[in-house]
Amino acid sequence: MSLTLANDKKELKTLDLYSGAITKVHGESHPEAFEVREQFEKIQEKITTDKDNLQLDEEFENLRQITNNYEVPKDVCETYEATYKMLEQADKEYHSQ
């Protein structure tokens, strides 16, 4: 399976940076940011260890549940929104394969 996220180190680094940043900035008022970060770290680990045989169904299912299908809270910054949009795009791409 080919997943852009798995083949684009810049996008992976950006998501790593953003998912960590939103926990620091919004974690107190949005504790789900920590769960999003945890799921991203699982995805990242799988990508770095076996990107040719990715099995990410569970992680993306968890992300959809945690984020209410990537619904961006109204009181967050652009980085939070970008994180959700990037993860949603990766989820759609993964499931369109």
Model confidence pTM above 0.75? yes
> Residue 1: pLDDT band by 50, 70, 90 thresholds?
very low
Burial per residue of 50-86, b for 16 or more beta-carbon CB atoms within 10 angstroms, e otherwise: eeeebebeebbeebbebbeebebeeebeebbeebbeb
pLDDT digits (tens, 9 = 90+) for 37-69: 999 999 999 998 987 788 999 999 999 999 999
